[in-house]
Chains A and B, each alone.
Chain A
Amino acid sequence: TQLLEQSPQFLSIQEGENLTVYCNSSSVFSSLQWYRQEPGEGPVLLVTVVTGGEVKKLKRLTFQFGDARKDSSLHITAAQPGDTGLYLCAGAEGAGKSTFGDGTTLTVKP
């Protein structure tokens, strides 16, 4: 079973600050997904990255896939209270199965 270490586990910041969440593994993934989950709801897909070194932007969110496809980062610029939630990374192992990180609980205070 592949492992995916996600950090930090908890993050509490003020509105307007920047932050970065990391996912690291010793294993290579064919693709990697980032999700955001709000309490009582299912995870919502933010992005899928496939190519090593790939960078994708979604408004104030920037996602990067490591060159070796073993790690990824999520950077949020000028965080807003609406960004509050549980962020999950998932590395695709093949055959549809994925390894999930332990999650980062982000709280953005107004």
Chain B
Amino acid sequence: GAVVSQHPSWVICKSGTSVKIECRSLDFQATTMFWYRQFPKQSLMLMATSNEGSKATYEQGVEKDKFLINHASLTLSTLTVTSAHPEDSSFYICSAVGTSGTDTQYFGPGTRLTVL
């Protein structure tokens, strides 16, 4: 149980284009999902908290107009990187909070974004 999927697993795009990443909780409903960015050999950097049916809460320094988050249902959150540039290249990971009551986050497999 508590499986989270992410799509695509990797994407290569040209500078200036937009990329959408999907995060789905497959066997549970998640009112809260999180989006992280991770640089090589480093820990996770929280970008934003996504709540179903409401606006996302962004961490300090994260541009909300560049990283658009939509959490339209209890099983799906999307992250759109708008007008991507090479510096946006990174490993993006989502997580969803389960229903165990312990605030345990279950992570997706991640999406490797490369902007040329």
Contact = CB atoms under 8 A, between A and B. Distances in A.
Interface of A: 30-31, 33, 35, 40-45, 48, 50, 86, 88, 90, 92-98, 100-103, 105
Given A86-B41, A96-B32, A30 B103 contact: yes
Q: At the interface, is chain B mostly helix, strand, loop or mixed?
A: strand
B106 interface: yes
Interface residues of B, number: 27
Contacts of A45: 2, 104-107
A38 to B, nearest CB: 10
Q: At the interface, is chain A mostly helix, strand, loop or mixed?
A: strand
Given A40-B112, A41-B110, A48 B104 contact: yes
Interface string B81-95: 000000000010101
Chain B CB count within 10 A is highest, among A43, A95, A100, A101, for: A43
A73 to B, nearest CB: 18
B100 interface: yes
Chain A CB count within 10 A is highest, among B100, B103, B105, B109, for: B103
Given A30-B103, A42-B6, A100-B44, 15 more contacts: A30-B102, A31-B103, A31-B104, A41-B110, A42-B4, A42-B110, A43-B93, A86-B41, A92-B102, A93-B103, A95-B32, A95-B103, A97-B34, A97-B103, A101-B43
Contacts of A48: 100, 102, 104
Interface in B20-49: 31-32, 34, 41-44, 46, 49
A42 B43 contact: no
B1 to A, nearest CB: 11
Given A31-B102, A96-B97, A44 B112 contact: no
A35 B44 CA distance: 12
